[in-house]
Chains A and B, each alone.
Chain A
Amino acid sequence: MTMTMTKPAESHRHRTRRRLSRLITNLWLVAALVVLTALIASQRPQLLDPGNVVAVLKSFSIMVMMVLGLTWVIAAGKIDVSFMQVAALSNMLCAWGLSQGWGWWPAIGAGLAAGLAVGLLNGWLVAVMRLPALIVTISTAGLCASLAAALGKGTVIRIATPGPVASLLEPQLGGAVPLIVLPVLALAALAWFVQERLSMGRYIYAMAQNETAVRSVGIPVVGLTLLLFVFSAVCAALAGVILAENLASGQPMIGGPYLINGLTVVLLGGMMVHVGKPNILGTLTATLFIGVLFSGAALLGLPDYQRQIIQGALLLTGLVVAMLAARHHGERRKGG
C-alpha cells in the first residue's frame, strides 16, 4: 500500500490538473501577494514609489532576520515567545555600548553575545531540563525586556555615529533596493538549503511529529533543540542590531509588536510550499505579504488598531486553513 503509486491508466489531462492543483497549494500566497500589491497600487500608486519600496524592503529584511530561527522552532513543534525581547535587548545593548564609547564592532558583538546567551539558556531549560517551552521563553522574554529597559533607565538611547550596516540600509540599485536585502536573502537561501537538502531539515519536521520516536532512533534531539533555540535567539539579536542602525537609537519597547507579527508570518508562511509546516520560503513570502499589507494600510490611512485586528484575523484564518489542509491530507492518506 504505497502512497505514491500512480494508476497507469491515468490520463494526461488528469495529471496536468493534479500538477496544477499542487502548484496552487504551493504558491497561492505568492499569487495573493501579487493580487494584493496590484489592488493597493491601483488605489494608491505611491505604494510602488522607490522611497516606499525601500521602506518595505527594509522592514522586510529586519522581519525576516527576526523570524528565520523562529520558523524552525515552530516547525519542530516548540514555541519561542522571547525572540522579540531578545531583539530589544541586543538593540539596547548595542546602543548602550556605543554610548559608553565602545565603538561599533564591540557593541554589535555584545548584542549578538546577549542573543547567544539567551538562546543557550532557553535551549538548556527546554532540551536538558525538559521544562515547557512556553513558560521558559515567557520568562526569558520578561527578563530580556527588563534588562533592555534597565540599560537605558526606561528611556531611549540615541546613537550619534552611523555604523558599518548604515551603508547597507541606504537605497541602491536604482534607488529602490537597500543592499541589506542581499545578505538576508543569502542567509535565508542557506537556511532553505539546510531545510530541504540536509538531514537536519528532516529531523526538525520529524521532531514535531513524534519526538520520542526521533529520540529513540538515535538522533541527538537534545543538541538539535538547543541549536534551534540558539539559532532563533541569535537571528533575533542580529535583527536587533540592524534595528539599532536603522533607528539610530536603542528602543527598549521595540519588541512588543514583533511577537504577533512574527508568529503571523511564520504560520501564514506555513500555509504554502509544505502545507501545515512552517518553512523558510513560506516565511519569506508571508513577510513580504504582511509588509505590503501594512504599507498599503498606512497609505490608505487605516489606524494602527485596525491593522492589529486585521492581523489577528489573518493569523486565525491561517490557522484554520492549515488545520483544514492537514485534515484533508490525513484523510487522503487514510484513503490511499
Chain B
Amino acid sequence: MSGFQDNMRQSARGVGFLALVIAVGAALAIAEPRFLSSASLNGIARHMAANGLAALGLTFVVIVRRFDLSLPGVAAFAGMSMGAVIAAGAPLWVAVAAGIAIGAAIGMVSGVAISRFGLPDIVTTIAVGSICAGMAFLYTGGRSIFQNFFQVGITDLNDARLMGLGVSLWILLAIYAVAWFVMHRTRTGVAFYATGENPVAAHFSGIATKRYVALAYVLCGVCTALAVLLILAESGNAETNKGANLMMPAYAGVFLGAAILGGTSVLATLGGILLITMLLDGFALMGVPYYYSDGMISLILLAGVLAFSDTARGWLASFGIRRAFRRSAPGEKG
C-alpha cells in the first residue's frame, strides 16, 4: 500500500470523525438546546480535561499492549494524599508534586512487577488498585478533606480562565501536545509502538522493551494523579470515591478513538474522549439519571469496538461492501 493511499485513508477517517462530532453535537443540541450554552460548553471542557488526562495515561499502556485496571485506586490514593498535604498547610505545588510522585511510584510498582517479573497485567493492576483504594482511607478513615482548599488556590485550576478558555483545558492541551510530540515525532515514541507491536523484534533492535512497559505504567500513574487533581479542583474537597468515575470514560475514549481513527494514538484518544464527554454531559443535561451513564458508555464502547473489529470488516467484505474501498488489496478477487 502506498504512503499516499495511507494518508488518504487517514484523512478520510479524520473527516469522518469530524462529521461524527458535528452530528452528535447537532443531535444533542436539537434534543436539548441548553447543550450549546456557554455554561454547558465550559462544563464539557472541564470534564474533558479530567477524563482526557486519565485516558492519555491509559493510551501509553494500551500502546505497549497492556491493560491497567488500577485507575480508580490510584486516583483515590493520590487524591487523598494531595488533600492531606493541602490540609497540612503546604502550598499547592507541593501537593501537586506529592500527587505526581505517588502516581509515579505506584505506576513503577505495577510496571516493574509486570515487565521485569512477568506478572499478568490485569490481575496485578487490580490487586495494586485494591491496595491503593484501601490506603486512601489511611489519612482520615474515609472522611472528606476540605481544610485549606480555598486558601491554597486549587480551585483556580477549575475557575481561572486564560484567553477565554478554562485553565484546565489549557493544561490538557499542553500535556497532549507534549505527548503527541514525544509519541509521534521522536525515537522514544517509535520505541513505545515497537514494544507493543512486536516486543521480540523491538528487543533485537536494541530497544529496552521492559523499560518502556514500566515507563508506560509510570506515565499512566502520573496522568491519573493529574486527572484527580482537576477533579479535586472542581469539587473543592478530597474524598475517597473521587476517581471512581474515571476508568470507564478512559477505556471508552481510548478504544473508541482507536476504532474510529484507525489505531491507538494520542490524537485518537483526544478525539474519543471529546466524543464521550459530549455524550455524557449531553445526557446529564437532558436529565438522564446518573446510573445510566456507565451503561451508555459501555454500549458506545462495545458498538465502536465491534463495528471496527476485523471480524465485522470481514463480514462486510463478504457482502461485497469492502470491495468498493479496497479494490487494490492483494489476494482479493475483484
Q: Which residue of B lies closest to A154 (CB)?
A: B291
* B126 close to A142 (CB less than 8 A): no
Nearest opposing residue in chain B for A261, CB measure: B130
Beta-carbon contact of A138 and B309 below 8 Å: no
Q: Is B170 an interface residue (CB 8 A)?
A: no
B298 near A315 (CB under 8 angstroms)?
no
Distance in angstroms from B304 CB to nearest chain A CB is 10
Q: Would you call A244 an interface residue if the criterion is a C-beta within 8 Å of the partner chain's C-beta atoms?
A: no
Given A135-B255, A135-B301, A138-B251, A309:B135 Cβ within 8 A? yes
Cβ 8 A contact of B124, one of A130, A260, A319? A319
- Report the number of A-B residue pairs with Cβ-Cβ less than 8 Å: 122
A145 contacts which chain B residues (CB < 8 A)? 291, 294-295
CB–CB B291/A129 < 8 A:
no
A303 in the interface (beta carbon within 8 A): yes
A140–B136 Cα distance when bound, in Å, is 28
**Contact present for A303 and B137 (CB under 8 Å):** yes
Known pairs A135-B251, A315-B126, A316-B124; A143 contacts B299 (CB<8 A): yes
Given contacts A145-B294, A146-B294, contact A136 B302 (CB under 8 A): yes
Q: Please tell me if A246 contacts chain B, counting CB pairs below 8 Å.
A: no
Q: Is the CB of B311 within 8 A of A150?
A: no
In the complex, A320 has a CB within 8 A of chain B: yes
Does any Cβ of B come within 8 Å of A212's Cβ? no
Q: Given contacts A130-B310, A145-B295, A319-B124, are A125 and B131 in contact (CB under 8 A)? A: no
**Segment from B92-100, B115-123, B184-192, B263-271 that makes contact with A:** B115-123
A128 to B299, CA, bound (A): 18
Asked if B294 contacts A306 (CB within 8 A), the reply is no
Tell me what chain B mostly uses at the interface: helix, strand, loop, or mixed.
helix
B 122-158 contacts with A by CB, 8 A = 122-124, 126-131, 133-138, 141-142
Enumerate chain A residues within 8 angstroms of B248, measured Cβ to Cβ. Answer: 138, 142
Q: Does B292 interact with chain A (Cβ within 8 Å)?
A: yes
Whether A308 pairs with B306 at a CB distance below 8 angstroms is no
- B127 and A134: CB pair below 8 A? no
Please, which residues of chain A bring their CB within 8 A of the CB of B212? none
- Flag whether A263 is at the interface (Cβ < 8 A): yes
**Least Cβ distance of B35 to chain A in Å?**
22
Contact yes or no, B289 A154, CB < 8 A: yes
A180 to B196, CA, bound (A): 48
Select from chain B the residue with minimum beta-carbon distance to A152. B291
B312 / chain A contacts, CB cutoff of 8 Å: 129
Question: Given A267-B123, A312-B134, A323–B118 Cβ distance below 8 Å?
Answer: yes
Report yes or no: A320 in contact with B119, Cβ–Cβ below 8 A. yes
Interface string of B74-101 (1 = CB under 8 A from A): 0000000000000000000000000000
Chain A contacts to B: CB under 8 angstroms: 79, 81, 125, 128-131, 134-136, 138-143, 145-147, 149-150, 153-154, 252, 259-260, 263-264, 267, 303, 305-309, 311-313, 315-316, 319-320, 323
Closest 5 CB pairs of A and B: A146-B295, A142-B298, A149-B291, A312-B131, A308-B134
